[in-house]
Amino acid sequence: MSRVFKNHGLYFVGIFSYIVSLIPFSGTNLVRALVLLPIALLTLIVAEHLQPSLMSFRIGAKEIVLSALLAIPYLFAINIYLLIPFTLLALTLIAYWKRKLMIGNVLGTVFIASLSFAWLGFVDNSFILPSVYWLLYILCGALYVEYKLPIRKLDKRVVQLSWLISLLILILLTLKSSLLLMLFALIEPSLRFLLPRGKLASMKDVAKLGRRGAVRDAIFLALLILTAVISNFLTL
C-alpha cells in the first residue's frame, strides 16, 4: 500500500530545507549529500507521525523509541549548529505542553526549517547564510499564515514587527558577508509581510492560501539559490 502524506506543508518545508542546506552546491560533499537524502526523508516521515502525539502531548514508548532511532544518524555529524533545531524542538514541546497551540504550530514549522542547519553540517557545508535567510523567512511566513486564519486573534503588527527584525538581521549579516545580491530575495517577502492585508473571509480559503504560499516559497527558494550561488561565485 502506498503511503499518503497528509501534512504537505511539512514536506514542502522539509524538502526545501534539504535543498537550502546544499547551497551553494559547489563546495558540498556529494557523497554525504546522497547519504543524507534518505535520512532527511525519514526525519520528515517520523516528524509527521509524531506531530499529533506532540500536539496533544501524549508521548508514549513508541514515540520515544522512534525519536531515539532517528537521532542515531545525527550522532555522526555533531556540530554546534545542531543546537538550533534542538532548541526549537524543545520550545515547540514546551508550547504544546502549555497548550499554546498557535505558538507550537509556528515553532514546529520553524523547527523543520532549522533542520537545514543540522544538514549543512552533515554535508560539510560552511555557507550558513542561506539557512539563516530560510529560517527567518519561514518564521515570518508561519506567523503570516496564523494571522490570516479567521479563528486566530493575532494582530498583523506581530507579522510586520517580526519581519522588520528579521530584515534588519539579514541585511546586517549580508553586508558583513559582502553578498549584497542575496538581498534581492527579500523584496517579495517584504511586500507580503509588511503589507499582509486582511484575514481570510472563511476557513474554506485556507487551502488556497496554502497553495499560494507553496508557490511563493518555491519562488523565494529559487531566488535565494540564484543570488547565493552568484554571490558566492563572485567572492571566489
Quote the pLDDT of residue 2. Answer: 44
For residue 173, the number of C-alpha atoms closer than 13 Å in the C-beta half-sphere is 16
Which DSSP category does 2 fall into?
Answer: -
> Comparing C-alpha atoms, which of 54, 78, 75, 79 is closest to residue 64?
54
Cα–Cα distances (Å) from 128 to 22, 45, 101, 199, 218, in that order, read 10, 25, 30, 34, 19
Cell numbers of 202, please? Answer: 472563511
pLDDT, position 79 = 82
The pLDDT value recorded for residue 55 is 78
Pick the closest to residue 233 from 5, 23, 43, 91 (CA basis). Answer: 23
What pLDDT score was predicted for residue 236?
66
pLDDT at 163: 98
Residues in the chain: 236
Q: pLDDT (tens digit, 0 to 9) for every residue of the chain, 236 residues total?
A: 344 456 788 999 999 999 999 999 987 888 999 999 999 999 999 888 888 877 777 777 777 888 788 888 887 777 888 899 999 999 998 998 899 999 999 999 999 999 999 999 889 898 999 999 999 999 999 999 999 999 998 999 999 999 999 999 999 999 999 999 999 999 999 999 999 988 988 888 888 999 999 999 999 999 999 999 998 888 76
CB < 8 Å & 24+ apart, contacts of 194-199: 194/160, 194/163, 194/164, 196/144, 196/147, 196/148, 196/156, 196/159, 196/160, 199/147, 199/148, 199/149, 199/150
Q: CA-based angle 28:86:226, to the nearest 5? A: 35
- Residue 1: its pLDDT value, please? 38
Q: Which phi and psi (to 5°) does residue 214 adopt?
A: -65, -40
Claim: this prediction has a pTM higher than 0.75: yes
Burial 156-192 (b: 16+ CB within 10 A, else e): beebbebbeebbeebeebbeeeebebbbebbeebeeb
* H/E segment holding residue 96: helix 83-97
Comparing CA positions, the residue from 170, 188, 232 lying closest to residue 23 is 232
Non-local CB neighbours of 141 within 8 Å, separated by 6+ positions: 109, 189, 193, 213, 217
- What is the grid cell recorded at 60? 508514549
Give one DSSP letter per residue of 215-233, joined into a string: HHHHHHHHHHHHHHHHHHH
DSSP element (H, E) containing 56: helix 30-56
